[in-house]
């Protein structure tokens, strides 16, 4: 796997292009079991978060912070006839723009929350209570709007925690902070200005169209040996029914997501692992020999490094 770019726009574009379209839906049994343990106010807030991307048009400037790196971007979201159009343009550094259009509002891209806004489809958010603890409290004033703070604390070591500042009137995410287990900030974004109306970012000199490759549609992603993941953190589930020989398989717990890639190699490579992290996103790569076949395993997603390592260790050929 190539080194992750330091450009926020490039990373978001790569996530959109490789991870595809995610549908979140817990079974009714999961929903009934976990929703009983979730505070009613939290359920109402999550339901509002689920609906706001279907009905609200907005346009604003956001900041994205990872360590000492700060990016400023312009973001718009517009819904017409049940289809969402989103554009993200970088205002600092080299011009670039990410655009996705004509999406059903029941469709979510895993990847950075600037574009996904934690879109929780239907009642699927109830299953999150099995993996996270939710706490409500008073929020900050962000982009001139009053917010409610939602703390999302992981119940195990396999995922990150979050602090969301949500608009008090619409539940739109105004600020998001991703936290490691030691409460270190992995990345943070927030609106610097916000208008609740449709808008389009300025034209940029470089454009990246967000595509939707799928294991059933992309030849090089469906050819390869049959394989499976023998271990997943509790709460993670496949996002689609990718064939067992697909070179990419994607999983989510409803907030975090990651993809696993398996690439057959002509010859074995030296033992070892490669790890690159940008904010909350890790790219973990390992060359291994499975059933006497050399392969390259890559885990890419918004999970701790140790989680990615354990998932890679669990890859098995059928």
Q: How does pLDDT run along the chain (318 residues), one tens digit per residue?
A: 333 333 344 443 333 333 233 333 333 334 445 566 688 888 888 878 777 777 789 999 999 998 788 899 999 888 888 788 888 888 887 777 777 766 554 444 433 333 343 343 334 566 788 899 999 999 999 999 999 999 999 999 999 999 999 999 988 999 999 999 999 999 999 999 999 864 444 444 444 444 444 444 445 455 679 999 999 999 899 987 888 999 999 998 888 999 999 999 989 888 889 999 999 999 999 999 999 999 999 999 999 999 999 999 999 998
Kindly report the CATH number assigned to the domain that includes residue 53: 2.50.20.10
Beta pairing partners, 287: 296
Longest CA span, the chain: 60
Tell me the three state secondary structure of residue 44.
helix
Residue 142 has a pLDDT of 96
Residue 103 has a pLDDT of 56
Same domain, 244 and 116: no
Q: Are 179 and 161 in contact (CB under 8 A)?
A: yes
Residue 125 has a pLDDT of 65
Same domain, 250 and 187: no
Same domain, 132 and 268: no
Residue 34 has a pLDDT of 52
Phi-psi bin for 197: left (phi > 0), alpha (psi -120 to 50), beta?
A: beta
Residue 282 has a pLDDT of 95
Residue 199 has a pLDDT of 41
How much is the pTM? 0.77
Q: Which of 154, 176, 209 is the last residue in one of the domains?
A: 209
Q: Name the residue range of residue 63's domain.
A: 8-209
Same domain, 148 and 296: no
Angstrom distance (rounded) from CA 127 to CA 224:
33
Provide the domain count of the chain.
2
Same domain, 150 and 26: yes
Q: Are 149 and 163 in contact (CB under 8 A)?
A: yes
Q: DSSP label at 22? A: B
Q: Which of 171, 187, 209 is the last residue in one of the domains?
A: 209
């Amino acid at each position: 796997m190539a080194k992750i770019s330091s450009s926020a726009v490039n990373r978001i574009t790569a996530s959109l292009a490789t991870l595809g379209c995610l549908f979140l839906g817990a079974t009714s049994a999961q929903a009934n079991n976990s929703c009983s343990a979730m505070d009613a106010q939290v359920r109402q807030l999550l339901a509002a978060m689920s609906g706001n991307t279907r009905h609200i048009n907005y346009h604003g400037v956001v900041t994205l912070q990872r360590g000492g790196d700060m990016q400023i971007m312009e973001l718009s979201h517009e819904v017409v006839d049940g289809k969402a159009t989103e554009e993200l343009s970088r205002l600092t550094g080299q011009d670039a723009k990410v655009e996705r259009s004509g999406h059903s509002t029941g469709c979510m891209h895993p990847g950075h929350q600037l574009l996904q806004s934690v879109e929780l489809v239907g009642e699927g958010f109830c299953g999150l209570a099995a993996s996270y603890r939710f706490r409500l409290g008073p929020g900050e004033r962000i982009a001139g709007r009053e917010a409610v703070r939602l703390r999302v604390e992981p119940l195990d070591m396999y995922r990150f925690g979050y602090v969301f500042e949500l608009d008090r009137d619409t539940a739109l995410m105004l600020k998001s902070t991703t936290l490691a287990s030691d409460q270190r900030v992995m990345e943070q974004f927030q609106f610097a200005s916000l208008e609740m109306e449709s808008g389009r970012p300025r034209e940029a000199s470089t454009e990246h169209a967000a595509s939707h490759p799928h294991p059933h549609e992309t030849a090089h992603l469906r050819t390869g040996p049959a394989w499976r993941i023998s271990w997943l953190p509790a709460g993670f589930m496949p996002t689609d029914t990718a064939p067992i020989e697909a070179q990419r398989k994607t999983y989510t717990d409803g907030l975090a997501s990651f993809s696993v890639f398996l690439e057959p190699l002509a010859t074995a490579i030296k033992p070892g692992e490669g790890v690159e992290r940008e904010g909350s996103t890790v790219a973990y790569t390992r060359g291994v020999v499975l059933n006497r076949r050399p392969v390259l395993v890559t885990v890419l997603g918004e999970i701790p490094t140790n989680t990615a390592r354990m998932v890679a260790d669990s890859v098995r050929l059928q």
